[in-house]
Chains A and B, each alone.
Chain A
Amino acid sequence: MSTITVDNIKTILANCYDVKYRQIFNGSEIITLIYIENLCDIKYISETIITPLVKMDSSLLNEIELINSNVIFSSSVEKVQNMDIAINKILSGNVIILASSYDYALSCGAQGYDKRDISIPSAETVIKGPREGFTEDINTNMASVRRRIKSPDLKVEQFIMGTESQTTLAMVYLEGKSPDRLVQYIRDKIDQVNNGCFIFYSNKLEESISCKHTSFDTVGYTEKPDVAVSKLSEGRVLLIMDGNSFVTTAPYFFIENFQTTDDYTLNKQVANLARIFRYMAFLISVFLPALYLALVTVNIKLIPSIFLFRMAVYRAGVPVPTIVELMYMLIFFQIIREAGVRLPQPIGPTLSIVGALILGDAAVSSGLASQVTVVVVALSSITSYLIPKIYISIFKWNLITILFTFILGLPGFFTALVLFIAHLSDLTTCGYPFLYPMGTRKYLKYKDVILRSDINEIQDSLISEGDDY
């Protein structure tokens, strides 16, 4: 381990033009301040560090504690004797103070870089409820959480992820609420994945925690602090990574896809009705295309005859089989949706409208699709907007159910339905069943599953120590 000297630091941080070396002469002593200009508040450094050091009596230079307590006004000052720590402090936006006669350094907190203001999250809109969102700055995000839970039980464990990126990760949980087993499980997972040089996104960690071989998210995320703290209050663990504008929540259950902030801020009856719509929309979006295929190609007896004839007339000019027609219309809609998501904000919705209206109408006019197929695919796609977090999973299961139905008709459809339920039942999240609390053998915490009860009845933790599931 090399001694902390200016020369050694210059060697390590060579070719870094943004690293500044400011020298101050005080008596016979040369004091060097090392910092990265873009990460620090220059005015703050001038007022709280440089000015006091210039005006300082040179006799104080021999007493490090006196400099710390009487000279420097910076809010955090600490003694650093390790070169690696010193470098890390510089790279994190601190100012390192070196004197020629010292074999150690002082680190002063002076971070001050531009960051995005707190804004309204675009993906989690609410009718009634807080609109504050997370930003990319971990300290701002932590402040948002702390501001809502003023409890000493709120624990924040820090991890440094990536040997080169040195990204800060905070594991947040409520002691006494979150089961120790869960906290330890996530702690172990963090240690396991912390082996790369560069970790910028929390997805590396999420992938290690979540279930493999499924398109359903078994680890959740939120862009809203109020949602994050409500998850905390239910016993979950938050993972806040610096540079990410969302917070990872674990465990994440299937029913959470159907829950929104409005469910708990709006009138109970209204909220429950909206939630029923979401469940219905999910069933429609996953199963309607396959059910339609079964009815129009295999089990036609189940369609009222008048409607059957009308559909046959609509299909008269379509040159391809129904299965092909259904598949390419579903893929068309997915492509339009994907384009709408990726395009810049003002263009995206326009493209969706153009795609849905013009392309759908044009497909019918050109004889590529029948009206009923367009209605079915559009209905399936629109209903999947009600549960946006799993729309890709819905599309995947659309294809699976269609395949089974194509082969066997309604028996195939029901086989795919059983497979779907079996798949969901097979998934786990942090050791809990993904269908929890529905997939439990013990006490069913049903008061916030399909319908929500009164708020004061559902305040108990969803998961807690000693749960048997």
Chain B
Amino acid sequence: MKKIWKLIIILVLLLLLSVGCAYRDMNRVLFATSSSIDIDDDGNIVIYGELFSAKRSSSDAAEEIRMIHRGEGNTIYKGFMTGQTSVELPISYDISKATIITERAARKGLDIVMDGFKRNQKPSLKQYMFICEQPLEDIMATELPDEMFLGFYLESFMVYNSNVAYVEKIRVNEFFNNRNSGSHVNLVPIIKKIQQGGSEKIDIDGAAVIVEDKMVSSLNKEEVAVYKYMTNKLQTGDLTVKNPMESDNNISIAIMKCNTKKDLITLEDADTVVNLSIDLIVSIPEVQGDIIMTNKEIRDKISHEIEEKIEMQCSELFDKYQQMGIDLINIERDMEIKYPNVKFDINHTRMNVNVNVNIEGSGISTNNK
């Protein structure tokens, strides 16, 4: 009898200490694979959800159904709640893979949009964030040839293609980390619907620069690659330089490994100097025209051109955002760690870029026309 009482007490305690019964059957739930958020001209928040539903069918096999639902309200929570009135089953945002936010909403301020992710335990913090410059209706209506759900497509893209130099990825939890540290700068990839090969596709077209939760600018694809050089995020990439033996032709450079080190020095006149040291291991996958790779002079010329090009691109990007007063590569965070008592000012910061290129992998390449 004592054991039975102990068992009852354990059960009651567990019920009291837990969130309670969270039982639900998976076929009685509409799973959102992605959600899209916009703020209209009246300041209302408009939410679109891409929903998965399993439906009974007249045949033996059931069917996967994709639905788009819309909710609207003056808060994001109200938007979710009003969206619930037009669907049969409760909507679950537990497994949502992507959150797409319009440029308009991003420029007004993401603090309103993202607050729900912090306070509500249900939405996944692992989902990827995107900015969209086109109308949400268009994006949500995209019919991808190889994937029924946009959320899954975007997640797969980020998982398997994020090492591409032109793609910057960010998850919701990373967004929250960045907005609370250093220069409060986030880079969120921009998606664009395109027509290609007779079908609709989603393209990653640069990244939006979010400062203090507001979108202030955007980077194009090339600038995203440069940003990744500077922040040690680049895994693979490519460059094109002139063929030193035939100036009308180009050489493709494949970046096999990139290692960037950031070194900070504060000077007595309160200036900060950032020394970026970028070590690249590259190979040459393609040469237009002839080239003799055994010739050290030619190799040095190629290396030098690569170094110059990257140094110039990095300096330009840094200067561009310094003029806007934006610490794009989050130097402030490194300052907080290294010099916690020194006040950081991006306008009193200088950057030196030093690129070292090591060409590997190619032998003599001649007459490859």
Interface residues of A (CB under 8 A from B): 213, 296-298, 300-301, 305-306, 308-309, 311-318, 321-323, 365, 404, 406-409, 411-412, 415, 419
Contacts and interface: CB of A to CB of B under 8 A. Distances in A.
A297 B62 contact: no
Contact of B15 (A300, A315, A407): A407
26 contacts: A296-B26, A297-B23, A298-B22, A298-B23, A300-B94, A300-B95, A305-B31, A308-B26, A312-B27, A312-B31, A312-B54, A313-B54, A313-B61, A313-B64, A316-B27, A316-B54, A316-B56, A317-B56, A318-B27, A323-B23, A365-B60, A407-B11, A408-B14, A408-B15, A409-B22, A415-B14
Nearest to A370: B27
A411 B14 contact: yes
Contacts of B24: 297-298
A10 to B, nearest CB: 56
B115 interface: no
A301 B124 contact: yes
B14 A315 contact: no
B152 interface: yes
Count class of interface residues, chain B: 20 to 34
Contacts of B61: 313
Interface string B55-77: 11100111110000000000000
B324 interface: no
A301 B124 CA distance: 8
A317 to B, nearest CB: 5
B199 interface: no
B95 A305 contact: yes
B54 to A, nearest CB: 4
B25 A313 contact: no
Most buried by B among A305, A317, A404, A407: A305
A322 B26 CA distance: 9
Contact of B25 (A305, A321, A407): A321
A86 to B, nearest CB: 52
B26 A311 contact: yes
Given A407-B15, A408-B18, A315 B95 contact: no
Contacts of B22: 298, 409
Contacts of A409: 22-23
B97 interface: yes
A101 B31 CA distance: 101
A322 B25 contact: yes
Contact of B54 (A297, A300, A315, A408): A315
Contacts of A412: 14
B14 to A, nearest CB: 6
A411 B21 CA distance: 11
B62 A308 contact: no
A408 B63 CA distance: 30
Nearest to A409: B22
Contacts of A404: 11
A305 B97 contact: yes
B166 interface: no
B175 interface: no
A25 B64 CA distance: 99
Contact of B62 (A296, A298, A313, A323): A313
A415 B13 CA distance: 12
A116 B7 CA distance: 49
A367 to B, nearest CB: 9
Nearest to A406: B23
* Nearest 7 pairs of A and B residues by beta carbon: A316-B62, A316-B54, A312-B54, A315-B27, A312-B26, A313-B54, A313-B62
Contacts of B60: 365
Given A317-B62, A404-B11, 5 more contacts: A312-B26, A312-B31, A322-B26, A365-B60, A408-B15
B26 A305 contact: no
Given A315-B54, A408-B15, A300 B26 contact: yes
B55 A316 contact: yes
B99 interface: no
B9 interface: no
B236 to A, nearest CB: 27
